[in-house]
């Protein structure tokens, strides 16, 4: 029951990253977002989530993980209510940022609770397998749930649905989960703010570049300010007695490699969900429900990959699954670059999605176990927060880079399609184009598809980088295998 409560919270938090994706076309029309600015509906959540995860993990260590866990869940519920009631883009983005804060408090605490609730060995391996499957498969479940809610109700219900789920989790937690031991310490507020501001500025720079070009003054200023903020963050963490990011975590090459792999894979995964959602609804003309059902096989295959990894990790160690998972993810994304306006779901989308999903299922279990291997109990919150932070920050940063790639290819293709449209358009279509600046189908489909294919090329490069890091950085020690098999081995103090 404790695992069910913890997994339900992680599902709610992860699901919310993608449940909104399926509603993006409807949100865009309802609240007047452009295609490039639409990514902020995702990034407002993931950036605050990723930027504050370390503070959330630290809060659990100091104040007690169960207490902090419940507070994070309730804050998430409040933000979901406000987001569902939003009347303009600013209100929605503010609510999404507040949701990210709630998720940042609850998510690292839930992973740390697994470390302190389940014994090391097969029992904890199975618990991590469930957690990793939920973390990876929750995205696809979110797309299905979003499709059902948008089709039968409206886009606001992708936020309202969190309210009853969160309340049930908050009520069940005191009954099934014990409070953890509290460790004295202080909060590194300065470090948390600098890391969050630095990442927001960096992501804004990439998205601004997609809209206004790399020579735009505000684009360059954003990148410059991001470098200053992130440099200050590193300096603050090096001099702090109790930093929000314990830099010694990166001294272990396996853990540092794990964070690098997660950064790259999250960038690829967020991009796949974001752009495939737009493709199947705008080019293949799927309804929200059809689009959600189209992603359902992803969850099943991720679960299969996670199950295989959990079963054979004690025998072979995590490295083969990290390398193989990265290769499979890259192959699936490379296959997706072949999509065009004549593609079909069965012929061009389903196959690569399944290949990608199998790789991601294998990866997430391996990464979760390696990130928390040999970590002292008092630092499990920080270690789990750092893993989640790299996932969310990698997703946000990667998505912004992919949006920039998409925008460049989109603009180049539009230059080709506009003259063709003007040659064949009726006077009414020309007048509408002059008024809105938007091409109608099939010209718009050509433009969107060119941008999506270019984005998938960049996503495939991220997955290849993940596989290379696994090959070069990860080293499995005999003590690691001994712990995975349930032996004591040299453990953390």
Tokens matching residue 56: 């959330």
Q: Is the pLDDT of residue 196 over 90?
A: no
DSSP 22: G
The overall pTM is greater than 0.85: no
pLDDT of residue 78: 94
Is the Cβ–Cβ distance between 268 and 459 less than 8 Å?
yes
Query: Of the segments 54-58, 259-263, 270-274, 297-301, which one has the largest average pLDDT value?
Result: 259-263
Question: What is the largest distance, in Å, between two alpha-carbon atoms of the chain?
Answer: 77
Which tops the pLDDT comparison, 369 or 228? 228
Instruction: Give burial (CB, 10 Å; 0-12/13-18/19+) of 490.
Output: exposed
Residue whose token pair is 């007047």? 32
Identify the helix (H) or strand (E) that includes residue 272. Answer: helix 253-282
Query: Of the segments 221-230, 283-292, 424-433, 470-479, which one has the largest average pLDDT value?
Result: 221-230
Q: Is the pLDDT of residue 489 over 60?
A: no
Contacts of 356 (CB under 8 A, 6+ apart): 272, 298, 328, 329, 331, 332, 333, 336
Q: Is the pLDDT of residue 334 over 50?
A: yes
Report the alpha-carbon distance of residue 238 to residue 330 in Å, rounded: 35
Report the alpha-carbon distance of residue 368 to residue 347 in Å, rounded: 34
- Helix pair 380-424, 427-436: axis angle to 10 deg: 150
176-180, 297-301, 415-419, range with the lowest pLDDT: 176-180
332 phi/psi in degrees, rounded to 5: -60, -45
Q: Is the pLDDT of residue 482 over 70?
A: no
Provide the mean pLDDT of the chain: 79
What spatial distance separates the first Cα and last Cα of the chain, rounded to whole Å? 29
Residue whose token pair is 């054979």? 312
Please count the other Cβ atoms lying within 10 Å of the Cβ belonging to residue 478: 11
pLDDT of residue 195: 77
Structure confidence at residue 352 as a pLDDT band (50, 70, 90): very high
pLDDT of residue 328: 94
Instruction: Give burial (CB, 10 Å; 0-12/13-18/19+) of 452.
Output: buried
pLDDT of residue 377: 62
Structure confidence at residue 461 as a pLDDT band (50, 70, 90): very high
CA dihedral 207, 213, 216, 220 (to 10 degrees): 50
Report the alpha-carbon distance of residue 421 to residue 413 in Å, rounded: 12
Query: Of the segments 125-139, 158-172, 294-308, which one has the largest average pLDDT value?
Result: 158-172
* % of the chain surpassing 70 pLDDT: 81
Report the alpha-carbon distance of residue 24 to residue 137 in Å, rounded: 20
pLDDT of residue 139: 65
pLDDT of residue 354: 92
Q: Is the pLDDT of residue 81 over 90?
A: yes
Please count the other Cβ atoms lying within 10 Å of the Cβ belonging to residue 15: 25
Buried b (16+ CB within 10 A) or exposed e, 453-466: bbbbebbbbbbbbb
DSSP 187: -
């Amino acid at each position: 029951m404790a695992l069910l409560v913890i997994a339900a919270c992680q599902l709610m938090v992860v699901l919310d990253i993608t449940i909104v994706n399926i509603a993006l076309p409807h949100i865009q029309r309802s609240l007047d977002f452009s295609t490039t600015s639409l990514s902020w509906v995702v990034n407002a959540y993931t950036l605050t989530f990723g930027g504050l995860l370390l503070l959330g993990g630290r809060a659990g260590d100091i104040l007690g993980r169960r207490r902090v866990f419940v507070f994070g869940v309730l804050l998430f519920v409040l933000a979901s209510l406000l987001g569902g009631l939003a009347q303009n883009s600013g209100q929605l983005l503010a609510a999404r940022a507040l949701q990210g804060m709630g998720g940042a408090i609850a998510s690292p605490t839930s992973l740390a609770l697994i470390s302190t609730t389940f014994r090391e060995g097969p029992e904890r391996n199975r618990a991590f397998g469930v957690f990793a499957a939920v973390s990876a498969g929750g995205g696809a479940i979110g797309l299905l749930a979003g499709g059902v809610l948008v089709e039968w109700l409206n886009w606001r219900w992708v936020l309202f649905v969190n309210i009853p789920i969160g309340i049930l989790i908050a009520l069940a937690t005191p009954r099934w989960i014990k409070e953890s031991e509290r460790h004295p310490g202080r909060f590194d507020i300065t470090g948390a703010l600098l890391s969050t501001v630095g990442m927001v500025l960096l992501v804004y720079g990439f998205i601004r570049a997609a809209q206004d070009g790399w020579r735009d003054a505000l684009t360059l200023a954003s990148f410059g300010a991001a470098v200053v903020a992130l440099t200050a963050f590193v300096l603050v963490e090096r001099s702090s007695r109790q930093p929000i990011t314990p830099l010694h975590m990166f001294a272990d090459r396996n853990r540092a490699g794990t964070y690098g792999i997660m950064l790259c894979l999250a960038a690829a995964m967020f991009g796949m969900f974001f752009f495939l959602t737009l493709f199947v609804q705008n080019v293949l003309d799927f309804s929200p429900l059809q689009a959600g059902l189209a992603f359902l096989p992803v969850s099943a295959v991720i679960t299969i990959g996670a199950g295989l990894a959990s079963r054979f990790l004690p025998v072979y160690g995590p490295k083969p699954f990290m390398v193989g998972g990265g290769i499979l993810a890259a192959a699936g994304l490379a296959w997706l670059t072949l999509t065009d306006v004549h593609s079909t779901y069965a012929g061009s989308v389903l196959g690569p999605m399944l290949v990608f999903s199998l790789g991601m299922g294998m990866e997430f279990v391996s990464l979760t176990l390696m990130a928390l291997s040999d970590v002292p109990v008092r630092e499990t919150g920080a270690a789990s927060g750092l893993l989640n932070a790299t996932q969310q920050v990698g997703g946000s940063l990667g998505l912004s880079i992919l949006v920039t790639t998409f925008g460049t290819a989109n603009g180049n293709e539009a230059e080709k399609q506009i003259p063709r449209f003007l040659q064949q358009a009726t006077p009414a279509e020309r007048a509408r184009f002059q008024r809105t600046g938007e091409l109608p189908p099939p010209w718009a489909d050509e433009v969107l598809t060119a941008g999506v294919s270019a984005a998938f090329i960049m996503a495939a490069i991220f997955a290849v980088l993940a596989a290379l890091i696994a090959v070069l950085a990860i080293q499995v020690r005999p003590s690691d295998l001994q712990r995975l098999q349930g032996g004591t081995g040299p453990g953390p103090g």
